[in-house]
Amino acid sequence: MDKKKNRNSINGKKLGIQAVAALIQNANFKGFFSGKLYTGPIKKVCVPGLNCYSCPGAVGACPIGSLQNFLGGLKFRFPYYVLGLLLFFGTLLGRLVCGFLCPFGLLQDLLYLIPFYKKNQFKIDKYLRYLKFAVLGIFVILLPLCIPLSPAFCKYICPSGTTSGLWHVFLNSSVRKQLGAIFQWKLLVLGIVIVSALIVYRPFCKYLCPLGAFYGLFNKFSFFRMHFNESACVHCQACVKACKMNVDPTKNPNSMECIRCGDCVRACPEGALHQGFIRPKTDASPVEEEA
C-alpha cells in the first residue's frame, strides 16, 4: 500500500512538472478566450517540445514547424538557428524533452490514466517504431524541400496543431466557414491518436513524432543519460515490467525509445539504475549498450 502511495505521489509530481512546462510554453492565457495569437518578440524562439505556433496560448514557436518554414520557403535558407536549438536540446537532454517538457506528451499521459483496455505489447510494435523516422524524413524534410510553402507534417499529420485548430474553430465563426477536407482528415488522425492513447502508452511518441525521432538519436551521448550498474543487478526484470516504452534498461539503458520518465529507476529494488548528468560513483561496471 505504501509503495502504491509513493508511486502515485511520484507520478503526480511528474505530471506537475509537465503541467508547469506546458503552461510556460502556453502562457498567453487570454488567447484561449479571445482566439488571438501572441505575436510578441519571443514568439520567434523555438520551444523544446511539440507545441503548435498557432495555439492561442503559445508564446514560442514549434521547432518542427519552424524547420519546415525554413526548408519550404520560396527562397531556400539553411535552418542554422532551428537546427542549432534542436542540437542543443538533443545534446543536453535527449528525449528527456519528450518525457517532461512536451505538452502533447502530457496530453497522452493524461489520456492513458483513463480506465480503459490497455495493451502495450504486440508483435508489430518494433516495426511501427520506424514510422516516426519516415515521418521526419519525408513530411518534415523532403516534401517541404520539394514543394515550396508546404509544411507537410503540420498540414497533414500534426495532432498538436489540430488540437490548437479546434480552439480557433470554437472561438471564430469565420474559421468554421473555411473548414474543408484537409481539416476533416486531420480530425481523423487526431481521433485515432486519442483512442490509441487510451490503450497504448504514448502512441504518437512511439510511432509518429518526428521530434521524438530526432531527439532519440542523441540519447546514447546526451549529457543527461541513463546509467546501469550491472554488478548491482539481480535480473529481477522489475525495470523491464515498469517501462511503458517497452525498453529493456539492462540491455539498452540509453535506447532511442527511452523518454527518461524514471519509472525503471524507481522500480529497481537494488538501485542498479540511475539517470542524470553525472554518473554515480557506485556505477563501477556500466553495461555495454546494444547498437
pLDDT digits (tens, 9 = 90+) for 38-82: 999 999 999 999 999 999 999 999 999 999 999 998 888 899 999
Average the pLDDT over each of 48-62, 91-105, 169-183, 263-277 and give the range with the smallest value.
Answer: 169-183
Whether the pLDDT of residue 9 is over 80: the answer is no
Q: How confident is the model at residue 268 (pLDDT cuts 50, 70, 90)?
A: very high
Whether the pLDDT of residue 276 is over 80: the answer is yes
Give me the pLDDT at residue 289, please: 52
pLDDT tens profile 204-226: 999 999 999 999 999 999 999 99
Q: How confident is the model at residue 291 (pLDDT cuts 50, 70, 90)?
A: very low
Whether the pLDDT of residue 168 is over 60: the answer is yes
- Across the range 264-281, mean pLDDT stands at 92
Q: How confident is the model at residue 173 (pLDDT cuts 50, 70, 90)?
A: confident
Of the chain, the percentage scoring pLDDT greater than 90 comes to 80
- Give the domains, in start order, of the chain with CATH numbers: 2-216 (no CATH), 225-276 (3.30.70.20)
Give me the pLDDT at residue 282, please: 63
Give me the pLDDT at residue 151, please: 93
**Measured at the alpha carbon of residue 37, what is the angle toward residues 207 and 60, in degrees to the nearest 5?**
55
pTM: 0.91
- Across the range 141-159, mean pLDDT stands at 94
Would you say 226 and 258 are in contact if contact means Cβ atoms under 8 Å apart? yes
- Across the range 7-16, mean pLDDT stands at 80
Whether the pLDDT of residue 88 is over 70: the answer is yes
Give me the pLDDT at residue 80, please: 94
